[in-house]
Amino acid sequence: MNVGGIAARLPGRHGPGRSDAGPRAAGGFWTDARVERILGAVACIVLALIAGMVIFVFQKAWPSFAHSGLAWFGGGGDVDLQLEDIFSSPANPADYVYTLHAWPLLWGTFVVTAGAVLIGMAFALLAAIFIVEFAPSGINRVLEPVVRLLAAVPSVVYGLIGILVIVPFVGEHLISQERQESVANVVQLDGASLGVGVLILTVMIVPIMIAIVVDALRAVPHGWKEGAAALGANRWRVMWTISVRTARPAIVAAAVLATARALGEAIMLSMVAGSASFAPNPIDGITFLFEPTRPLASALVENVEGLSVVPFGETLFAFAAVLLVSSMFLSLAGFAAKQSMRKYGVRP
Amino acid sequence: MNRNRPLAALAALAAAASLALAAPASAATITMSGSTSIAPLATQLAKAFVKQPKYKGKVKFVILQGGSDIGITDVSRGRVTLGMSSRDPKPADPGGIVFNKFARDAVCVVTNASNPIPTLSQTQIQDIFSGRIRSWSQVPGASASGPIDLVVRTAASGTQDAFQNIFMGQTLRVAGSATTKASNGLQAQTIKSDPNAIGYASFSFTKGLHDVPYQGVPCTLRNAKSGQYAGTRNFFFVSRGAATGVAKEFINFARSNPTALRIVASDWVPLH
């Protein structure tokens, strides 16, 4: 039993403070040099895995992009029908169908993500200020554990609540028949909608943003805040002018993390956002919120059954590639935004 | 001691895994994956099969789901003994696999229970699902009012394929405004909560919904068995090459053994 052997030697790491520490307490098997090499190897494996994944996804996705060119990102036709044609391609590789205009999916991803992150950001910032500066300690003892607990709830739970409670409610009470009929020739309004998707996604990403911003606000040096208070600023002004400004890099980090989660959210949105390949139109006024949409990640998870059909699988990999590139750009943008704020900022 | 715990747990896990791998080696194992519509039936058939005196203790089953196309891919790559497919063979399917038909299934057009439509003809179904008729006021006998909400399945679904072949034909398409759902359950839930919805489902998934009679014939097992109800599709066990050994015996069992036929007849349609 090799594993047991290593395990038996492990207590040696606890060092001289422990009574069972033997002569090899300074490190034993785990010398610093050895640990450095092992950890380095592990880190390299992670990098290699990521690089391998990116190459694999892009290689698989290439035929789909190559066939449609820039029109892939444009609009035109019905995405569901195009997917169906791709799925029922003929057997001969030369006759594979790849035509796809994915604009409704891209637009759906953008609107849902941007909506949830903007609304969530405002909520999270105000909630974090309350927790750090204004909340009585009794409330804080309940509030903070609950926020951290909420951050860990699996998305499918939110999806279930959405499809069983919120979607039927919206469909029956908030959408009038006139509204349904006004757009009936283009799209059907049955409650599952952009608005419900954004609402639940906001609830999902707010807790993690609150947690990060709270940590950052707490890390602001007391001296800075006391200085402002000594000049006569009240608590709100101290928070707004000193703490929030100093915590900007952390706020950006929270936004980036939340956006990443929102971009990748698939199951919940596929359950409540209507799963029709439709690009909701802001010109429609309030109806815009009730129109269904389908983000890229949802389209991917809903169609994964058809992976075995070669051109269909390659199309799904093209969705994955777009998501990968977006999250890479997201990280870069977050990094760039933080650079300029670094001078006076505290980092989480 | 804390540090030892993960390693100990890992060792225990490895031991358990090797045990689990070792156990089935003494019996022949049939692994299956594929259609979620077939899985409940396949599970019952497998239970009856291992109770047969000839196979008691000698055969084991592992049944996974995932969808018809997953089953077909798995079996073509040799990952499972049999794939379960609820759709007919397609030109783009991998080569070298054999579709063994073993039962049939009724596909019903369903509406919300508050909207009990007396009957629909094939033309009416085509008009509704292709978007030519968009309001319930244009459907005779409908008690719902307002626009029709179409709730259908994604392109890769076996039920979608069956609906297309049986009701729509080769040229008509489901309207682009339709909501597409990834599973039977999500589709049924959506129709249940929307009085204006119409969709389709395998007979075993229609509880709590209204089955619309097709060409005047109610969507019941009795009518499907007698052949009066025209909306039926085939269930297949897919094998890599012709099925051999225990897998072949299992397929024959499902097709013709009286016990198996009784199981099939409980919620599905036997071949004979």
Contact A188 B177 (CB under 8 A): yes
Task: Give the model's pLDDT for residue A157.
Answer: 92
Residue of A nearest to B155 (CA): A84
Contact B4 A10 (CB under 8 A): yes
Q: Which long-range contacts (CB under 8 A, 24 or more apart) does B9-12 make?
A: B10/A3, B11/A1, B11/A3, B11/A4, B11/A7
pLDDT at A24 over 80: no
Task: Give the model's pLDDT for residue B16.
Answer: 41
**Nearest chain A CA: its distance from B224 CA (Å):** 28
Contact A190 B197 (CB under 8 A): yes
Task: Give the model's pLDDT for residue A281.
Answer: 87
Name every chain A residue with its beta carbon within 8 A of the beta carbon of B165: none
Give percent above pLDDT 90 in chain A.
Answer: 45
Task: Give the model's pLDDT for residue A25.
Answer: 53
Residues A258 and A238: their CA atoms lie apart, in Å, by: 26
Show the low-confidence residues of chain B (pLDDT under 70). 1-26
Contact B177 A11 (CB under 8 A): no
Name the B residues in 88-147 with CB < 8 Å from any A CB. Answer: 90-94, 134-135, 145-147
User: Where are the alpha helices (H) located in chain B, listed in sequence order?
Assistant: 4-22, 39-51, 68-76, 122-130, 158-163, 184-193, 221-226, 245-256, 258-267
Q: pLDDT digits over B232-257, tens only?
A: 899 999 999 998 889 999 999 999 99
SS3 B241: coil
Average pLDDT of the residues in A181-185:
81
ipTM of this model?
0.70
Q: pLDDT digits over A85-104, tens only?
A: 888 887 778 888 899 999 99
Task: Give the model's pLDDT for residue B121.
Answer: 92
Note whether B192 and B209 are within 8 A (CB): yes
Residues B136 and A165: their CA atoms lie apart, in Å, by: 25
Note whether B158 and B119 are within 8 A (CB): no
Q: Which regions of B124-250 does DSSP assign to beta strands (E)?
A: 149-153, 179-181, 197-202, 210-212, 232-240
**Nearest chain B CA: its distance from A328 CA (Å):** 28
pLDDT at A13 over 80: no
Contact B193 A171 (CB under 8 A): yes
Nearest to A132 by CA among A232, A260, A250, A230: A250
Q: pLDDT digits over A37-75, tens only?
A: 999 999 999 999 999 999 999 999 999 999 988 899 988
pTM for the full predicted model: 0.78
pLDDT at A173 over 80: yes
Contact B7 A6 (CB under 8 A): yes
How many Å separate Cα A2 from the centre of its chain? 41
Task: Give the model's pLDDT for residue B26.
Answer: 58
pLDDT at A276 over 90: no
Task: Give the model's pLDDT for residue B266.
Answer: 87
Confidence at A80, pLDDT banded by 50, 70, 90: confident
Task: Give the model's pLDDT for residue B145.
Answer: 85
**Encoded tokens for B86:** 């609820």
Nearest to A271 among B14, B145, B186 (CB): B186
Task: Give the model's pLDDT for residue B200.
Answer: 93
User: Where are the alpha helices (H) located in A75-134, listed in sequence order?
Assistant: 79-87, 103-129
Task: Give the model's pLDDT for residue A27.
Answer: 65
**Encoded tokens for A53:** 């994944």
Average pLDDT of the residues of chain A: 86
